[in-house]
Structure 1
Amino acid sequence: MDGVICHTNPYHSMAFREFFSKRNLNPTDEEFAQHMFGKSNSYILRHFLQRDIVGDEFNRLEDEKESLFRKIYEPFAEPIQGFFPFVEELKTQDVKMAVATSAPLANLEMIAAKLGLDRFMDSFMASEDVTNHKPDPEVYLKSAERLGMHSYQCVVFEDSFSGVTAALNAGMRVVGVLSSHSRDELPPCNLYIQDYAEISYRDLEDLF
C-alpha cells in the first residue's frame, strides 16, 4: 500500500520526525530511506530507539506514531498516477487483487475508505494479520491463499527492498514501483514502473 498505491512515505517521514523529535532524536533522510521505507514498525522502533520495543509499550508507541501519520496524511490521501485506470482495466479482465501491507489495520482502513478500494480488492491484509513481517513472505503467501491462487500465478507490486525480497521469497513475479527507490536500490524485478500510466493488463500477461 505505502509507496505502491499511495505515495505516503513523505508523510510517514513527517510523522516519524515529530515522534522522534519528542525523544530528542533527529534521523537523517538517508537513515529514513534505509531503515524506514518498507520496514515494519517493530523494526523501525527497535533500530532508532536502539532497544527491543515489545508488548504494551510497542502498542502504545506504534499507536502514537500512526495516529500522527493518519492525522497528517488523511487530507492529502490520493493514489499514485494512473492507479485507478489500471485497476479498473484489471477488474474488467477478472484479475483477483489484494492489498498486503506492513502498515497497521487502522492505516489500511483509512486509506481504503478514502480511495474506495473495496470496489477493486478481493482481500486486505495488514500487519496484525501476520506473525512474520517482510522480507518474510508470509503476508504474500496468505494473500494468495485467500485469493485461491498459487504463488506462480501472482504478481506483486512493491517499492521497497524488503517488500521485493518478500515477494521473491514467496516465489512470485514482481513489478518494482520506483516511488521511493531507484532500480539499483531494489533486488531484480521482472518489470519497473514510475507510475501506473506506464503499465497495462497486457504487460502483466507478458510476464507469464
Structure 2
Amino acid sequence: MDGVICDTNPYHSLAWKAYLDKHGIASSEEEFIAHMYGKSNSYILKYFFKREIVGEEFDRMEFEKEALFREIYEAHVKPISGLIEFIEDLKANGVRTGIATSAPYLNMEMILSKLPLRDKMQSLLASEDVNAHKPNPEVYLKSASNLDISPERCVVFEDSFSGVTAGKAAGAKVVGVLSTYKKEELPVCDEYIVNYEGLTYQKIKEIVG
C-alpha cells in the first residue's frame, strides 16, 4: 500500500520525525531510507530506541505514531498516477486483486475510505494479520491463499527492499515501483515502473508468462 497505492512515505517521514522529536531522538532522511521505508513498526522502533519494544508498550507507541500519520496524511490521500485506471483494466479482465501491507489496519481503512478500491479487492491484509513481517513472505503467501491462486501465478507490486524480497521469497513475479528507491537500490525485479500510466492487463499477462 505505502509507496505502491499511494506515495505516503513523505508523510510517514513527517510523522516519524515529529514522534521521535517528541522523545528527544535525532533522525535523518538517510536513516529513514535505510531503516524506515518498507520496514515494520517493530523494527523501526527497535532501531531508533535501541532496544526491544514489545507488548502493551509497543501497542501504545505504534498507535501514537500511526495516529499522527493519519492526522497528517488524511487530507492528502491520492493514488499514484494511473493506478485506478490500471486496476479497472485488471478487473475488466477478471484478475483477482488484493492489498498486502505492513501498515496497521486503521491506515488501510483510512486510505480505502478515500479511494474507489475496496470493492475491487478480494483480499485485504494488514500488519495485524501476520506473525512475521516483510521480508518474510507470509503476507504474500496468505494473500495468494485468500485469492485462491498459487503464488507463482501472482504479481506483487512493491517499492521497498524488504517488500521485493518478500514477494520473491513467496515465489511471485515482482514489479518494482520506483516511488521511493531507484532501480539499482532494489533486488532484481521482473519489471519496473515509475507509475501506472499506460500499464495494462496485457503487460501483466506477459510478465506472468
Q: TM-score surpassing 0.5?
A: yes
Corresponding position of 2:82: 82
Write the distance in 2 (CA, Å) between the matches of 1:135 and 1:112.
Answer: 24
Tell me the alpha carbon deviations over residues 44-76 of structure 1, each in whole angstroms, 9 at most, x when there is no partner.
Answer: 000010000000000000000000000000000
Instruction: For residue 174 of structure 2, give the secondary structure of its aligned residue in structure 1.
Output: strand
Write the distance in 2 (CA, Å) between the matches of 1:37 and 1:89.
Answer: 29
* Deviation (angstroms), 1:17: 0.4
Write the distance in 2 (CA, Å) between the matches of 1:114 and 1:57.
Answer: 30
* Deviation (angstroms), 1:200: 1.2
Write the distance in 2 (CA, Å) between the matches of 1:119 and 1:107.
Answer: 17
* Deviation (angstroms), 1:79: 0.2
Corresponding position of 1:21: 21
Write the distance in 2 (CA, Å) between the matches of 1:198 and 1:178.
Answer: 15
Write the distance in 1 (CA, Å) between the matches of 2:45 and 2:68.
Answer: 15
Tell me the alpha carbon deviations over residues 147-194 of structure 1, each in whole angstroms, 9 at most, x when there is no partner.
Answer: 000011100000000000000000000000000000010000000000
Instruction: Give ranges in structure 2 of 5+ residues lacking alignment.
Output: none
Pair 125,141 (structure 1): closer, same or farther in 2 beyond 3 Å: same
Write the distance in 2 (CA, Å) between the matches of 1:57 and 1:130.
Answer: 19
Q: Does 1:201 align with 2:201?
A: yes
Please tell me the root mean square deviation across aligned C-alpha atoms, in Å: 0.6
- Which runs of 4 or more aligned residues in structure 1 lie more than 6 Å from their structure 2 counterparts after TM superposition? none
Instruction: For residue 176 of structure 2, give the secondary structure of its aligned residue in structure 1.
Output: strand
Larger mean CA deviation between 142-151 and 114-123 belongs to: 114-123
Corresponding position of 1:103: 103
Write the distance in 1 (CA, Å) between the matches of 2:200 and 2:47.
Answer: 38
Given residue 32 of structure 1, which amino acid in structure 2 is its aligned partner? Answer: F
* Deviation (angstroms), 1:117: 1.5
* Deviation (angstroms), 1:116: 2.6
Corresponding position of 1:152: 152
Corresponding position of 1:42: 42
% identical equivalent positions: 54
Given residue 88 of structure 1, which amino acid in structure 2 is its aligned partner? Answer: E
Larger mean CA deviation between 76-85 and 116-125 belongs to: 116-125
Q: Does 1:31 align with 2:26?
A: no
Corresponding position of 1:176: 176
Q: Does 1:163 align with 2:163?
A: yes
Given residue 92 of structure 1, which amino acid in structure 2 is its aligned partner? Answer: A
Corresponding position of 2:9: 9
Corresponding position of 1:132: 132
Write the distance in 2 (CA, Å) between the matches of 1:62 and 1:3.
Answer: 19
Given residue 156 of structure 1, which amino acid in structure 2 is its aligned partner? Answer: V
Write the distance in 2 (CA, Å) between the matches of 1:198 and 1:190.
Answer: 17
Corresponding position of 2:70: 70
TM-score of the superposed pair, with normalisation by structure 1: 0.99
Instruction: For residue 11 of structure 2, give the secondary structure of its aligned residue in structure 1.
Output: helix
Instruction: Give ranges in structure 1 of 5+ residues lacking alignment.
Output: none
Number of aligned residue pairs: 208
Instruction: For residue 197 of structure 2, give the secondary structure of its aligned residue in structure 1.
Output: helix
